[in-house]
Structure 1
Amino acid sequence: MNRCSNLEVLTVVGCDAAIDLADVIMIERLRSLNVRDSGLNSLDALAERPWTTTLSCYIPRNCITDVTPLTRIPRLQNADLTGNPLSEHSYRKVVPALREQGTRVLISDELEWKLTRHLHEQGVPVSCYKKKDAFALCRPGMKLTEFPDFGHVEIQEKEVESLLHGNPESALRFFPDVLESAPGSAHRSP
């Protein structure tokens, strides 16, 4: 990362859980971190740096449950946490604390947050978020989909409710490539 010392904006899309922010925090001029549609599951490294610059942290549609490390960034300007399976504590306590310290925070509304959290807790790596007026489902990271940042499936509110109260694995039916690769499924030749 020494060669990137003047880097101010870093965007990462579609990475898997092995993302290590330890190298990222060494970039002294970093002002905007954008990790989306990835398997990022920890923000701990961000709290280890004494931030002197303002930072915007856009991490939508990852696997983040704990956002407490963000409270240790004194000049955090923006945080986009939509589509993450935030813990109850992070959603109800930490996010309001971030807002109180002046950070503009985007989070999922209650329904899509509950569904995302429920699916991830049941081992189904699917995230739900609002896309304009519709709900959308995605599978963060390259291990799960060839194109993690687009082609997200739009569903109706009744389907969100059904997934929240039904079998979590039924969320996979919205992703044809999962069904085609499932054991015992018929594969068609072109």
Structure 2
Amino acid sequence: MDPSLAQAISQETGQQQPFSLELLQSVTYLHVSYARNLEHLSACRNLEILQLIGCDPVDLSQLGKLPMLATLVVQFSNLKNLAGVEHFPSLRRLIAGMNRIQDLSPLLSGPKLRRLDVRGNPLSENSYRILAPQVQEKGARVSVSEELDWKMTLELQRHGLPYCFYKAHDGTRLCRPGLALTDMPDLSHPIVAREELANLLDQNPDEVPKLFDRMDLMPTTLGP
């Protein structure tokens, strides 16, 4: 079992490995950070709330059937595809900001969401302009990035920079979702103005990764 997943289960249950199947099936809430393998989550069939922060990879189709899952939070992770969301028939809240999601089409035939947050993702033009409104028409309150922020994330991807650009309470920030470029992708997000970033991409895109080394750009508070 992935050490980060095992740690999350131990924190929730007060037990150490090896975990019995009965124990795993008793877990209803988990907060998992920086896991690289989530395959054993399928044994936690009674999960109601699952938070995955900075995990990589995240493949919903490999999490197994979680019939009781009502809230799924996946942030700052390497979630690329929403296929498999149909395995969570009770899902009502999907908070998936700052990932690498492009296609929202699995949500049209998936569970009936009440809340969807996909800010800071490189959504395709079709997903941003057509599919997101369709999910909202099904009854969900949908949050996507403002158009200029969304386009900036796409521009970063076009330059081969797998970053997300998103608006936080203290300005616009950059993050590196997943574990390929940092061990703690939910931390150290430089505050960068859109105009400054656009100029860097236009004139010297090789300088953009160095923004993550600029301590003067680091926020003084946590969270988006």
TM-score (norm 1): 0.83
**Superposition CA RMSD, Å:** 2.0
SS at match of 2:135: helix
Match of 2:79 in 1: 40
The runs of at least 4 aligned residues of structure 1 exceeding 3 Å deviation read 163-170
Q: How many residues align?
A: 174
Check whether the contact 2:68–2:89 (CA below 8 A) recurs between aligned residues: no
**Once the two structures are superposed, what CA deviation does each residue of 1:113-169 show, in whole Å capped at 9, x if it has no partner?**
001112123321111000025110000012211221122110123214325645544
Q: Structure 1: give runs of 5+ residues left out of the alignment.
A: 178-190
CA 1:141 to 1:2, structure 2 compared with 1: closer, same or farther past 3 Å?
closer
Match of 1:107 in 2: 144
| Mapped pair 1:130 → 2:130 | no
Match of 2:97 in 1: 60
| Pairing of 1:10-25 with structure 2 (within 5 A) | 10-16=50-56, 18-25=57-64
**Once the two structures are superposed, what CA deviation does each residue of 1:90-135 show, in whole Å capped at 9, x if it has no partner?**
0000011111111111111111100111212332111100002511
User: CA shift at 1:171, angstroms?
Assistant: 2.2
Check whether the contact 2:72–2:91 (CA below 8 A) recurs between aligned residues: no
Q: Greater RCO between the two (CA within 8 Å, min separation 6)?
A: 1
| CA distance in 2: counterparts of 1:55 and 1:25, whole angstroms | 18
TM-score (norm 2): 0.71
CA 1:162 to 1:44, structure 2 compared with 1: closer, same or farther past 3 Å?
same
CA 1:161 to 1:174, structure 2 compared with 1: closer, same or farther past 3 Å?
same
Check whether the contact 1:81–1:106 (CA below 8 A) recurs between aligned residues: yes
Q: Structure 2: give runs of 5+ residues left out of the alignment.
A: 1-40, 215-224
